[in-house]
Amino acid sequence: MSVAVGSFLVFAASQVGTPGPANMALLATGARYGLAGALPFVAGVVLGKQLIIWPMGLGLNELALTYPTVFAALKWISAAYIIWLAWKVANLRLDTAKGRDRAPGFFAGLIVHPLNPKAWAMITAAFTAFVTPGTPALQATAIIATCFFATQVALHPIWTLGGDRIARTVAGTGAERYLMWTLAALTVASVLFVLLGGGS
């Protein structure tokens, strides 16, 4: 009775490291405010996933199976919120004078994963595919939480730094608008991919 830690870490890295609403938000935030300015937001995104992992591991997943329509509705509401954020990203510009607005902080990052359909899908897959039946819930949840935390700490700052580096190249150029619209489109596409059952 345990968690398949090795194979799960590979799965977690593949999910955390690939495009999705959270990584698009990190990329856009890094592009807008730089890595240093985005760090509180990054910390919130990392810890926000724990707000899903622990309740699911300790019983919320069973509740979701009992009341599937409620959770389906919540999934679509969350998707609508992420799409609204994507619209805001599409209209951001990177050449705004520094100090005119403030970077999103820790609490803004904290709600990204609870409202991210991809996060719910990957966490559900973690408990159903990598936990041996009969494993104590606390043990399984602690292992999964730790693995996700480690992969997020390693990979989320890379996305944020990527946004920072991209911004230095395109800010104030004709490519800026296309970049922001591309980020927004990728965010929407990643949400729809999960909602329509294409993957996690």
- Polymer length of the chain: 200
Q: In this structure, are residues 45 and 116 in contact, taking their beta carbons and an 8 Å threshold?
A: no
Residue 99, pLDDT above cutoff 60? no
What pLDDT score does 72 carry? 67
Per-chain mean pLDDT for the chain: 80
Which has the higher per-residue pLDDT, 67 or 102?
102
pLDDT of residue 158: 95
The conformational region for residue 135 under phi > 0 = left, psi -120 to 50 = alpha, else beta, is beta
Contact 131, 3 (CB under 8 A): yes
Query: Between the CA of residue 67 and those of 16, 53, 73, 137, what are the distances in Å?
Result: 28, 19, 11, 20
Q: What's the whole-number mean pLDDT along residues 91-98?
A: 58
Band (48; pLDDT cuts 50, 70, 90) = very high
Predicted pLDDT at 82: 66
Percent of the chain with pLDDT over 70: 80
Q: For 119-172, what is each residue's pLDDT tens digit?
A: 887 888 788 778 887 788 889 899 999 999 999 999 999 999 988 888 778 777
Average pLDDT of the segment spanning 50-70: 77
User: Would you call 131 helix, strand, or coil by DSSP?
Assistant: strand
pLDDT at 60: 61
Helices (H), 113-200: 117-129, 137-170, 175-195
pLDDT tens across 104-122, in order?
899 999 999 988 877 887 8
Quote the radius of gyration of the chain (alpha carbons, Å): 17
Check pLDDT > 70 for residue 5: yes
Give the confidence band of 46 by pLDDT, cuts at 50, 70, 90: very high
Query: So where are the chain's domains?
Result: 5-195
Mean pLDDT for 176-191 is 74
